Amino acid sequence: MPPGEPAADPAELLDPVAPGADGLRVSRVTVRFGGITAVDGASLHVRPASVTGLIGPNGAGKTTLFDVVTGLRRPETGAVLLDGDEVTRAPVHERARRGMARTFQRLEAFGSLTVRENVLVAAEIHATAGRALGRRAARARARDRADELLARTGIADYAAHRADTVPTGTARLLELARALAAEPRVLLLDEPSAGLSAPESAALAGLLRGLAGEGLAVLLVEHDMELVMGVCDTLYVLESGRIIAGGPPERVRADPRVRDAYLGPGEGAA
Amino acid sequence: MDSFLTYTVLGLVSGAGYAVAAGGLVVTYATSRIFNIGHGAVGMVMAFLFWELSAGRGLPAWAAVALVVLVVAPLCGALAERTVLRDLGEAPSDVALVVTVALMVALLGLAQTLWPPKPRPVSPFFEGHGFHLGSAFVGAHDLLTVAAGLLVAAGLSVLLRFTRTGAAMRATVHDPGLLALFGGRPAWTTSLSWAIGASLAALSGILLTPVVQLDYYGLTLLVISAYSAAMLGRLTSLPMTYLGALALGLLQSYTVGYLPTSGAFTGLRPAIPALFLFAVLVFLRSPQARLGRLRGAAGVAVASSRRAAPWAAVFVVAAAVAAAALPAEQALVVALGVVYGIVMLSMVLLNGYGGQVSLAQLTFAGVGAVVAARWASGSVLSLVAAAVVAAAVGALVALPALRLHGLYLALATLAFGQLMDKVVFQADFAFGYNGALDVRRLTVLGVRFGTEKAYLVLSAVVFALVGAGLLALRRGPYGRLVLALRDSETACATLGLNARLARVVLFAASAGIAGLAGALMGGLRQSVSASDFMVFNSLPLLLLAVACGVTSVTGAALGGAALAWLPKLQAQFPAAGGLLFLVVGVAAVALRSEPNGIAGWVFRFGRETVAARWTRLSGGPSPDAEPVDVGPVEAVGHAPR
Ligand SMILES: Nc1ncnc2c1ncn2[C@@H]1O[C@H](COP(=O)(O)OP(=O)(O)OP(=O)(O)O)[C@@H](O)[C@H]1O
Ligand SMILES: [Mg+2]
């Protein structure tokens, strides 16, 4: 797996690929809000068993791109491919059933449920998607899965708390656990470390590497550069809706365009 | 051709009237994010007040208009904003919705109390003056209305676009906090917008009165067209709203004018505004649900089945004792209360758990009653059929409105209820034109429930079963799912749930429960008519359910009892004509401080009493002493399985 090609060639992206383990491909996606172009022909590839970072200044279009990938927003042009299948027009829940899960920058936890119920309900939706919600064995498995994920994300202590009462950092980990409950193959995380303490961030990094080790394709939007540089195999930089660089993190960081865009001109000397 | 001109003039005039009302809706929404369902009721009360001042007290018409539109209405609007509506824009959308429905119901009650029903003829301004446009006569009043429409549109645009106040108003809706930071005064601008809104409601009410005369409901419902127009303007664009209002006025006028006067379409006429509203709502798509709200909904702790079962038994036994002790006509009242309680259980599911509001639950009960009367009447099958058909109709309403939730869904149900009242229920396959249907009483497994007393027990059993079913549902995976769906549909969808389908199922299930109640009501009353299920009767039902506690089964029982008893109470004080509505409206406003309603108080009181006694007995804190309003924390997932 060559980790470091630059922003993938869009033509190649639409080539037929071996189905089953291609991860996520985004090809020439453009989104406009009235006058402004929030995403401008962006393409990227998130490989299975890897963590791919997506960084860029505020308002670069990262969250908008997530919305397009997960189906919450229709792109003006462009395509989204999940394991080689085009899903650009598939409804949100359809993509989720095909293995896509995400967290939200602006939290979308279920506030009136407890932390445990949040994860449990996700596991139950996953266990019974498309089927009647009654299977006893499936439900028992969902419970086990929820408890396991609470432990794995380190929020088991909060299991019985209502989700609208826990600290932001915990709510973010909760969203991560909830997304994992859907047993995704592609996981999109929108600033998961905001609100986490330094040790919690470190634990998150470990968790993300572990997930990649299990074969997940992880796309990580993050402002915490230490975390990004620590866990990512590939890094893309989005600026004003355009992918301006892509490749191995070290090489991307050294790119002068990236320094200008992300760190601001003049700061690059450090 | 001649009639075309006449219809055009008529359409433009009513369109201008709608535009005035819709302008008021948009201004209040733009600043406070509250869609005032009671907007039309404000106009109605103010039109009555205008009549009182001019015809009753002899004030010159211009002085009465000035007093009402420029002084009384704005003051009332600002006052209402200060007292009950402030900060509602931030509340969950169903709370804001219920409070404005309460405003509407309370105003209806107020009007009927202050101005008891009697003919109050109203003539247009400058009657007889006007000119001929081709063959069409354009009255001075018509001209005045069109001019008012134009003036209001221009005035509002200037206000919002070019003045500091307007800029502050527009900013408020985007970010009240930010505006405050820069020294603006959102509180003040919100009050101002409500003052303007009420003033415009009053103006449109007064201008349109000659069209519908002083009719409580007719005037209140005129605003349905204003709702449509405001929706066409997406609740933000004044020009679009104005054009939408004119187009609607014209379209309605032509439809009314050219619809065949015989055959299937005759009954359709009065329902045309509702049809348009439904169409606008369905085709326009509601904007995306608000993102990024973490605050969950309030709810009471859900009783385990071990705790609920004894209470269900107590309920049924109490009903049996009441049936034995009470004379037949009082047993009928109590049984009616229980049946209303079942309708409220349907609201517990839809609103208390699901966070959606239906303004037409009684309409579904009506569907159930019709089915029970016409199919297998007298057998248990009729109950089942009633529930199933009502659920199917519920799904039919919710399906085209798949994208709708919150305000949009509620408005769609209002339009649907109107449509059923005016068209479907009047049809021969339903109640027939102003007709009534006989419903046979049930025979279950050879046991005949032939009396009111027997029906009281039967209804209590059904209530207990449905209530227990709801609690079981709420504790299980479906309950979690419903709450999750309410908190974040977006998140549910990204987890693989077909959220829209789930919402339709929820709505249909709720309609099914209401249909079951309707079948029971039919058997209890033995004769039912469309007026028993009017959409306007659904509103007090909703409000009482909310005031008594729409988050709990107990609340539904209390609400049903209250709804059956209040008219009795009212009958003893006939002077207070609309008292019922007024009381209900005020009670619903009180829900702001206790989202779980009276039932919430009862639970808390119960807990505290038990806790106190326990402390006295054992000298230690009670295991029951945890605060009640932890909500569903102990509800799901921790119950021993
Ligand atoms: N619903 C919307 N309507 C209009 N403009 C929008 C909308 N959502 C986002 N935008 C605009 O699109 C651009 C991209 O926004 P986006 O939220 O995707 O950026 P981001 O990279 O996630 O930023 P951040 O780091 O602050 O989260 C911004 O200019 C934003 O103002
Ligand atoms: Mg973002």
Q: Is the ipTM of this complex over 0.85?
A: yes
Query: Rounded distance, CA A122 to CA A124, Å?
Result: 5
A139:B294 CB<8 A = no
At residue B410, does pLDDT exceed 90?
no
At residue A35, does pLDDT exceed 70?
yes
Could you report the per-residue pLDDT of B216-253, keeping only the tens digit for each?
Answer: 888 888 888 888 888 887 777 788 888 889 988 898 88
Residue B636, φ and ψ in degrees, nearest 5: -120, 150
Find the angle CA(A252)-CA(A257)-CA(A260) to the nearest 5 degrees.
110
Contact A63 CB / ligand 1 (< 6 Å): yes
Using a CB-CB cut-off of 8 Å, the residues of chain A touching B475 are: none
What single letter denotes the amino acid at residue B416? F
Taking residue B167's Cβ as centre, other Cβ atoms within 10 Å add up to 16
- Measured torsion, CA atoms of residues B26, B27, B28, B33, in degrees rounded to the nearest 10: 70
Q: Helices (DSSP H) in B175-232: which residue ranges?
A: 176-181, 186-212, 216-232
At residue B487, does pLDDT exceed 50?
yes
What single letter denotes the amino acid at residue B319? A
Which of A64, A222, A228 best tests ligand 1's pocket when mutated (most atoms within 8 Å of CB)?
A: A64
What percent of chain B clears pLDDT 70, i.e. is strictly above it? 82
Contact A123, A146 (CB under 8 A): yes
- Three-state SS at A29: strand
Find the angle CA(B147)-CA(B237)-CA(B228) to the nearest 5 degrees.
75
Could you report the per-residue pLDDT of B75-103, keeping only the tens digit for each?
Answer: 999 988 887 777 666 666 677 788 888 88
B479: closest chain A residue by CA: A121
Query: Rounded distance, CA B540 to CA B581, Å?
Result: 7
User: pTM of the entire structure?
Assistant: 0.85
pLDDT at B87: 67
Contact A206 CB / ligand 1 (< 6 Å): no
DSSP for B609-630, please give it.
HHHHHHHHHHSS--TT-S-GGG
pLDDT at B631: 35
What single letter denotes the amino acid at residue B215? D
Could you report the per-residue pLDDT of B563-576, keeping only the tens digit for each?
Answer: 888 777 666 665 55
**Ligand of minimum distance to the alpha carbon of A58:** 1
- Show the tokens assigned to A96: 């989720």
Could you report the per-residue pLDDT of B101-145, keeping only the tens digit for each?
Answer: 888 888 888 888 888 888 777 777 777 777 777 777 777 888 888
pLDDT at B428: 80
DSSP for B135-161, please give it.
TEEEEHHHHHHHHHHHHHHHHHHHHHH
Nearest-CA residue for ligand 1 atom 27 is A58
Mean pLDDT of A261-266: 58
- Show the tokens assigned to B234: 């997406």
Taking residue B436's Cβ as centre, other Cβ atoms within 10 Å add up to 16
| Beta carbons within 8 Å of B634's beta carbon, 6+ residues apart | B301, B302, B626
Interface test with B, best of A68, A103, A117, A147 (most B CBs within 10 A): A117
A166: closest chain B residue by CA: B294
- pLDDT band at A268; cut points 50, 70, 90: very low
Distance from CA of A73 to the nearest CA of B (A): 10
At residue A266, does pLDDT exceed 50?
no
What percent of chain B clears pLDDT 90, i.e. is strictly above it? 24
Nearest CB to B299: which of A71, A97, A112?
A112
- Measured torsion, CA atoms of residues B458, B460, B462, B467, in degrees rounded to the nearest 10: -170
In Å, how far are A56, A227, A242, A270, B26 from A264, measured between CA atoms? 11, 20, 17, 12, 43
Nearest to B20 by CA among B37, B43, B50: B43
Q: Among A216-220, B151-155, B298-302, whose mean pLDDT is lowest?
A: B298-302
Mean pLDDT of A106-135: 84
At residue B610, does pLDDT exceed 50?
yes
Could you report the per-residue pLDDT of B189-210, keeping only the tens digit for each?
Answer: 788 889 999 999 999 999 988 8
Using a CB-CB cut-off of 8 Å, the residues of chain B touching A113 are: 296, 480, 483-484, 487, 632, 636
- Measured torsion, CA atoms of residues B367, B278, B220, B540, in degrees rounded to the nearest 10: 40
Nearest CB to A117: which of B298, B495, B637?
B637
Query: Rounded distance, CA A130 to CA A92, Å?
Result: 14
- pLDDT band at A16; cut points 50, 70, 90: very low
- pLDDT band at B176; cut points 50, 70, 90: low
What single letter denotes the amino acid at residue B269? R
Mean pLDDT of A252-265: 76
At residue A228, does pLDDT exceed 90?
yes
| Beta carbons within 8 Å of A174's beta carbon, 6+ residues apart | A109, A115, A118, A119, A153, A155, A158, A163, A166
Query: Rounded distance, CA B619 to CA B615, Å?
Result: 5
Query: Rounded distance, CA B412 to CA B432, Å?
Result: 24
Contact A249 CB / ligand 1 (< 6 Å): no
pLDDT at A218: 97
At residue A110, does pLDDT exceed 70?
yes
Query: Rounded distance, CA B566 to CA B575, Å?
Result: 14
Could you report the per-residue pLDDT of B288-327, keeping only the tens digit for each?
Answer: 444 445 566 666 777 777 788 888 899 999 999 998 898 9
Mean pLDDT of B384-405: 85
Nearest to B194 by CA among B95, B87, B102: B87
Mean pLDDT of A184-188: 96
Distance of CA B159 to the CA centre of its chain: 32
